[in-house]
């Protein structure tokens, strides 16, 4: 499968703003090394709220026309609403809303955002976004359990207090979403294949798994109260943008399929090997240092201009990635001008 975004967009016509993420900070300085391509909010950050969740605004200028896309809606505290107000963002300016995957920290603000969108706005997600997920992270020094072991011994493991985290995640409710879409005259598009959004920008569709070691461990599909399946995150969507003469901008929600898999999928899908920027959540929080090192070495080999892992990326990845000049921090209000 392939998708043609070779038309691309002109350099300087792409703006990405972080509407919600886990961190806000008034004293983070804008780094001069990026030449204005990464701008931190400075004292404006005092107006914004942080929560465990992610949402980004993507704006592309194409001639006289401006296209605006919203990726995700942050967590259930609805920080996206107050932060958008603080950034003077009007939700009616968005042409499409893309849901990266069906986890509460990405669809948490959805029911409050949908009524604020303009008529005809398209909501893009996969049918797998409605799946039931559960997080089961074992205690220290214990390998992650296989779905087969959990199905067979879940009750016993619970009694043994074997889990550091044992959380059944809230599921996206199809009826509520479809009713809101109908009420506010929006459009819903369920697609497992890539979609070209406009010139130079496309969704990933289902991300190919080149290396299953990259998949986030500890999150399972739950088929019944005691039946678990392997989660290969068929609900996850990333975004690829081709900036002329610069390469691909890779934008992720959580990167549960693995940031390396996501990049390789984008290269294969678009036929564009050069990577310009990698921005989003990379979900490296639960990984071993040696596995993070391997991912960092892969990114270093690509030599992007900007690498910004936020939200669920984790401290260890950022610590190791900071040795490369592309590394930067993303907080609420960070802007990328690419």
Mean pLDDT of 245-257: 97
Mean pLDDT of 205-213: 97
Mean pLDDT of 43-54: 96
Mean pLDDT of 302-322: 98
140 has a pLDDT exceeding 80: no
pLDDT at 2: 95
Distance CA 21, CA 119 (A): 27
- Give the tens place of pLDDT for each residue, 168-182: 999 999 999 999 999
Beta strand residue intervals within the chain, DSSP E: 14-20, 38-39, 55-62, 65-71, 96-98, 122-125, 133-138, 163-168, 187-190, 196-198, 201-203, 219-224, 227-229, 239-243, 247-252, 275-281, 306-310, 335-337
* Residue 1: band (very low, low, confident or very high) from pLDDT cuts 50, 70, 90: confident
Do the Cβ atoms of 197 and 132 come closer than 8 Å? no
Fold held by 14-337: Metallo-beta-lactamase; Chain A (3.60.15)
Mean pLDDT of 200-218: 97
> 3-class SS at 248?
strand
Mean pLDDT of 71-97: 97
Mean pLDDT of 189-214: 97
* Residue 225: band (very low, low, confident or very high) from pLDDT cuts 50, 70, 90: confident
172 sits in which H/E element = none
Mean pLDDT of 74-92: 97
What is the residue extent of each domain of the chain?
A: 14-337
Average pLDDT value over all residues in the chain? 96
pLDDT at 141: 76
C-beta neighbour count of 316 within 10 angstroms: 18
221 has a pLDDT exceeding 80: yes
318 has a pLDDT exceeding 90: yes
Share of the chain above pLDDT 70, in %: 100
196 has a pLDDT exceeding 80: yes
69 has a pLDDT exceeding 90: yes
Mean pLDDT of 12-19: 98
272 has a pLDDT exceeding 90: yes
Dihedral of CA 68/74/76/77: which sign? Answer: negative
Do the Cβ atoms of 70 and 100 come closer than 8 Å? no
pLDDT at 59: 98
């Amino acid at each position: 499968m392939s998708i043609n975004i070779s038309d691309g967009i002109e350099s300087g016509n792409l703006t990405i703003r972080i509407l919600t993420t886990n961190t806000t900070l008034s004293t983070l300085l804008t780094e001069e090394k990026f030449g204005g391509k990464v701008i931190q909010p400075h004292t404006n950050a005092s107006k914004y709220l942080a929560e465990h969740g992610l949402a980004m605004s993507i704006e592309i200028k194409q001639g006289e026309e401006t296209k605006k896309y919203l990726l995700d809606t942050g967590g259930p505290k609805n920080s996206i609403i107050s932060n958008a107000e603080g950034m003077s963002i009007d939700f009616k300016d968005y042409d499409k809303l893309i849901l990266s995957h069906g986890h509460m920290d990405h669809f948490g603000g959805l029911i409050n955002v949908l009524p604020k969108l303009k008529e005809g706005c398209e909501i893009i997600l996969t049918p797998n976004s409605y799946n039931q997920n559960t997080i089961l992270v074992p205690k220290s020094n214990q390998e992650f359990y296989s779905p087969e072991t959990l199905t067979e011994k879940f009750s016993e493991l619970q009694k043994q207090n074997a889990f550091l985290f044992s959380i059944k995640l809230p599921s996206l409710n199809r009826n509520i979403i479809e009713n809101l879409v109908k009420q506010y005259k929006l459009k819903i598009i369920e697609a497992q294949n890539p979609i070209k959004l406009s010139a130079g920008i496309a969704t990933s569709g289902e991300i190919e798994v080149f290396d299953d070691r990259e998949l986030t461990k500890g999150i399972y599909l739950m088929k019944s109260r005691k039946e678990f399946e392997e989660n290969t995150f068929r609900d996850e969507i990333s975004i690829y943008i081709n900036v002329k003469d610069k390469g691909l901008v890779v934008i992720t929600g959580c990167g549960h399929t693995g940031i390396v898999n996501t990049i390789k999928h984008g290269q294969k899908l678009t036929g564009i090997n050069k990577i310009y920027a990698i921005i989003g959540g990379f979900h490296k929080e639960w990984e071993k240092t040696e596995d993070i090192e391997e991912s960092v070495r892969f990114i270093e080999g690509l030599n992007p201009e900007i690498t910004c892992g936020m939200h669920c990326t984790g401290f260890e990845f950022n610590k190791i990635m900071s040795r490369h000049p592309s590394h930067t921090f993303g907080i609420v209000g960070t802007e990328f001008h690419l």
